[in-house]
Amino acid sequence: MLARVQIDRLLITTLPNVTWLTGFEASAAAVLVRPHQCVLLTDGRYREAAIEIAERCAGLITVVPVEDTYEETIVRLIADEGSAVGFEAGSMTVARLNWLTTTLRHTGSPTVLSPTMTAVEACRIVKDDWEIDILRDAAQRLSAVAIGVIADFRPGIAERDVAQGIEAGLRRAGFSRPAFDTIVASGPRAALPHGRASDRVIQPGEVVVLDFGGVYGGYCVDLTRTVACGDPGSEAREWYDSVLAAQSAAIAAVRPGRPAADVDLAARTVLEQRGLGPLFTHGTGHGLGLEVHEAPRVGRPRRESGRDPMPGTVLLPEDLDAGMILTVEPGVYVPGRGGVRIEDDVLVTASGVEVLTNVPRTLVID
Amino acid sequence: MLARVQIDRLLITTLPNVTWLTGFEASAAAVLVRPHQCVLLTDGRYREAAIEIAERCAGLITVVPVEDTYEETIVRLIADEGSAVGFEAGSMTVARLNWLTTTLRHTGSPTVLSPTMTAVEACRIVKDDWEIDILRDAAQRLSAVAIGVIADFRPGIAERDVAQGIEAGLRRAGFSRPAFDTIVASGPRAALPHGRASDRVIQPGEVVVLDFGGVYGGYCVDLTRTVACGDPGSEAREWYDSVLAAQSAAIAAVRPGRPAADVDLAARTVLEQRGLGPLFTHGTGHGLGLEVHEAPRVGRPRRESGRDPMPGTVLLPEDLDAGMILTVEPGVYVPGRGGVRIEDDVLVTASGVEVLTNVPRTLVID
């Protein structure tokens, strides 16, 4: 990783990157990566947990306690490195960099902070077997939660109560927490792609988008089903059939070596052919891992800016590769009327695709 | 607010600041504040919700849709401002600023981006009556959840199941989500100030730290109680009595015009007098509002760096003022053995303090 950014010291301040490198999970931490050692910085609240991690990785991880502030501890640690130290420009704030560089200069340190981009993210994008096992297990657990929620689903209750049932199910299934705010969007609210559960009471025949995820062993999975109890009408059925066709086409486009943008194009083409293109207002998916939204990006190809990336950037691959895990979740949203989204989590395999989630894709339920 | 940073355009990219300014809540958004207008940028997922907000604030908020990326939309929006545009250096990343400035230069724009710090946070620190009403209501609801959880509490169940009960209670009480990962830390795990609920089964007589919070109407409240079913032993009782005395002293120190650091000092002094000072490894509290950790800082006074703050900084007050809402949560942590923390939420009033949470502070429960 250090070789990819051509630098031999790297200051990691993005929390999921800290976790990926060290296994340590906290709301505040940093890592200084040196050629044969990781220095883990954390404060009193997490000291015991950090020491436990370091003991398991004898010699590879050293814990440095943060006594005052993270910034002061970082300066003390890197002031004598005597060479360039890379930092993560994608998460380092302008204010923090300003403080660190000014303080290093004041102390007469020869250390220079040098920007890097997506060096660790480029490593995280392909999951190893250990990570795939966790994510496969998590996806199965999430599917079981979804099946239970749909079996219990009935009109006459508030979106918020459905969300409560989902989150209780996540806990029972071993998830440590929801991966994001649970979405339960019914009737016209289904037109809001991110309609958090409200007090609205679900009516018979209404289309309801259920989108939820959980964190299991630190890793995130994510699933959406759209359901209706009773007949939702022909318009909603058409939306559903179209989104289902779009999702199937997108999943069929998942294959190593193929651009991730092709997955988006496959879904978009189906919806455009049915005149629903303008109603599909987001990308087709995103990577899953320690973050619920991570690389690869599964959307329209970015326009070329014609400019070089920032120095120190490790480019993220644009093609799919075996070991990547992503969501496939096209949707259609009709303001004021309703919407449909269907989402599954898939693994790119050596030969194509494995769908990790397994929940019937049926609009009308009993 | 613009006057405080002596600038007439301000680009807001910190999400809670976007919410505070516009009432709009989303996982991605930005605001350009102009002298008589806010421009709200958001993408397709949130378009409907943004338009609804703008209609309620006719004329004051204009919605600009993000078609490609936020960065490209920001550049299009500010390229013709023809004057300095402030940005939030505390949340703007180095990479994003680099992209924005490079792109503005490439397009020949005269706009210059100029750093600001805590301009909106300085406004958010004192709550208005509308916010106080929400937070007071939220604290009462949280207290009711805590009372219910403690009444149902019994040994022989796993920490994770206790957490599930807490989170179901939060939903039932009207909270949209937990404000942070629910902490249930029993026995020796109580020594971890941030011990997330695990599979550990709670034993009779063990000390258990329950720390949880909820988001209600967008605002965060936070509460900790430490309980034991059965006799936890004399050592734990001593810790508890000391932490209770420290918390009472800290609450008594809350008064407008007094340094927030005095609240920390009051708690710390009690624990030091009892020889427990080194076991109190964090600050005494933090502000509450749209974020679960916000200003004011309630910890030891910062050492003076002797350097001027970054240009464009609006200094956050160090003294308490009527309308501030904060947690008071001293604790004692004994590695390998256990710990105690007691936390309430308080409002600084014109004459002193109002404790917003109301849950018995009793270690041993039936």
- How sure is the predictor about A57, in pLDDT bands with cuts at 50, 70 and 90? confident
Pick B98's closest partner by Cβ from A47, A89, A196. A89
Q: What is the pLDDT of residue B2?
A: 66
CB interface of B with A, residues 304-333, below 8 Å: 305, 307, 310
d(CA B203, CA A271): 57
Contact B181 A177 (CB under 8 A): yes
Q: What is the mean pLDDT of chain B?
A: 94
Q: Tell me if chain B has a CB within 8 Å of the CB of A160.
A: yes
Q: What is the pLDDT of residues B68-91, one digit of tens each?
A: 899 999 999 999 887 899 999 999
Question: If phi over 0 gives left and psi between -120 and 50 gives alpha, with beta otherwise, what is residue A116?
Answer: beta
DSSP per position, A5-46: TT-S-EEE--HHHHHHHH----SS-EEEEETTEEEEEEEGGG
d(CA A249, CA A268): 9
Question: If phi over 0 gives left and psi between -120 and 50 gives alpha, with beta otherwise, what is residue B308?
Answer: beta
Q: What is the mean pLDDT of chain A?
A: 94
Q: Tell me if chain B has a CB within 8 Å of the CB of A273.
A: no
For residue B296, whether the previous peptide bond is cis, meaning omega lies within 30 degrees of 0, is yes
Q: What is the pLDDT of residue A82?
A: 78
Q: What is the pLDDT of residue A285?
A: 98
**Would you say residue A298 has pLDDT above 80?**
yes
Q: Are A211 and A178 in contact (CB under 8 A)?
A: no
In percent, the amount of chain B with pLDDT more than 70 equals: 99
CA atoms within 13 A on the CB side of A206: 25
Query: Looking at the DSSP assignment, which residues form a beta bridge with residue B40?
Result: B31, B63
| Letter string b/e over residues A289-328, b meaning 16 or more CB atoms within 10 A of that residue's CB | bbbbbbbbbbbeeeeeeeeeebebbbebeeebebbbbbbb
H or E element that contains B55: helix B47-56
- How sure is the predictor about A196, in pLDDT bands with cuts at 50, 70 and 90? confident
Q: Are A327 and A264 in contact (CB under 8 A)?
A: no
- How sure is the predictor about A329, in pLDDT bands with cuts at 50, 70 and 90? very high
Q: What is the pLDDT of residue B222?
A: 98
Q: List all residues 6 or more positions away from B55 whose beta carbon is below 8 Å from its beta carbon.
A: none
d(CA A344, CA A364): 18
Cα–Cα nearest to A86, from A28, A31, A21? A31
Q: What is the pLDDT of residue A357?
A: 98
**Would you say residue B1 has pLDDT above 70?**
no
d(CA A93, CA B14): 11
Q: What is the pLDDT of residue B82?
A: 78
Q: What is the pLDDT of residue B303?
A: 76
Q: Where are the alpha helices (DSSP H) in A108-209?
A: 119-124, 129-152, 159-172
Cβ count near A11 (within 10 Å): 23
Model ipTM?
0.87
CB-CB neighbors (< 8 A) of B196 in chain A = 176
- How sure is the predictor about B256, in pLDDT bands with cuts at 50, 70 and 90? very high
**Would you say residue A294 has pLDDT above 90?**
yes
Q: What is the pLDDT of residue A48?
A: 84
**Would you say residue A206 has pLDDT above 80?**
yes
Per-residue pLDDT averaged across A318-339, rounded?
Answer: 96
Q: What is the pLDDT of residue A1?
A: 65
Q: Tell me if chain A has a CB within 8 Å of the CB of B283.
A: no
Count Cβ atoms within 10 A of the Cβ of residue A358 and give its class: 0-12 exposed, 13-18 middle, 19 or more buried: middle
Q: What is the pLDDT of residue A2?
A: 67
Cα–Cα nearest to A284, from A249, A335, A239? A249
Q: What is the pLDDT of residues B133-160, one digit of tens each?
A: 999 999 999 999 999 999 999 999 999 9
Q: What is the pLDDT of residues B202-227, one digit of tens each?
A: 999 999 999 999 999 999 999 999 99
Q: What is the pLDDT of residues B98-129, one digit of tens each?
A: 999 999 999 999 999 999 999 999 999 999 99
Pick A94's closest partner by Cβ from B94, B99, B335. B94
d(CA A347, CA A325): 4
Q: What is the pLDDT of residues A210-236, one digit of tens each?
A: 999 999 999 999 999 999 999 999 999
Q: Are A354 and A133 in contact (CB under 8 A)?
A: no
> B278 to chain A: nearest residue by CA?
A44
CB-CB neighbors (< 8 A) of B180 in chain A = 27
Q: What is the pLDDT of residues A160-180, one digit of tens each?
A: 999 999 999 999 999 989 999
Contact B68 A303 (CB under 8 A): yes
